[in-house]
Amino acid sequence: MAVISLGCSGSEKKSETQNQLLIKGSDTMVHLGSSWAEAFMNMHKDIEVSITGGGSGTGIAALLNGTTDICMASREIKDKEMKMAAEKNISPREFVVARDGIAVVVNPANPLNEATVEQIGKIYTGQYTNWNQLGGPDQDIIILSRESSSGTYVFFQEHVLGKKDYTPNARLMPATASIIQTVKADKWAIGYVGLGYALEAGEEVKILAVDDGSGPVLPNMETVKSGAYSISRPLYLYTNGNPAGLAKEFIDFCMDPQGQQIVERTGYIKVTE
46-72 pLDDT per residue, tens: 999 999 999 999 999 999 999 999 999
Say yes or no: 43 and 91 in one domain.
yes
pLDDT tens column, 204-258: 999 999 999 999 999 998 999 888 999 999 999 999 999 999 999 999 999 999 9
CA within 13 Å, CB half, 197: 24
Same domain, residue pair 73 and 104: no
- List beta partners, residue 258: none
Both 95 and 19 in a single domain? yes
Whether 34 and 77 share a structural domain: yes
Any domain includes 138: yes
* Domain contains 127: yes
Task: Flag whether 240 is in a domain.
Answer: yes
Mean of pLDDT values over 130-141: 97
Q: For residue 61, give the nearest of 37, 92, 34, 33 by alpha carbon.
A: 92
Alpha-carbon gap, residue 145 to 122, rounded angstroms: 14
Say if residue 109 is in the same domain as residue 176: yes
Confidence of residue 14 (pLDDT cuts 50, 70, 90): low
* Claim to verify: residue 58 and residue 158 sit in the same structural domain: no
pLDDT digits (tens, 9 = 90+) for 26-39: 998 999 999 999 99
CATH number for the domain that contains residue 218: 3.40.190.10
Mean pLDDT over each residue of the chain, to the nearest integer: 92
The helix-helix angle for 56-65 and 79-87 (nearest 10°) equals 20
167, 95: one domain: no
76 and 154 share one domain: no
One domain for residues 94 and 116: no
Full domain range(s) for residue 87: 3-99+234-265
* In a shared domain, residues 80 and 28: yes
Query: pLDDT at residue 11 above 70?
Result: no
Q: Are residues 154 and 94 located together in one domain of the fold?
A: no
- Are 20 and 126 contained in the same domain? no
In a domain, 273, yes or no: no
pTM for the whole structure:
0.81
**Dihedral sign, Cα of residue 34, residue 152, residue 219, residue 71:** negative
Task: Please check whether residue 272 lies inside any domain of the structure.
Answer: no
Q: How many domains does the chain have?
A: 2
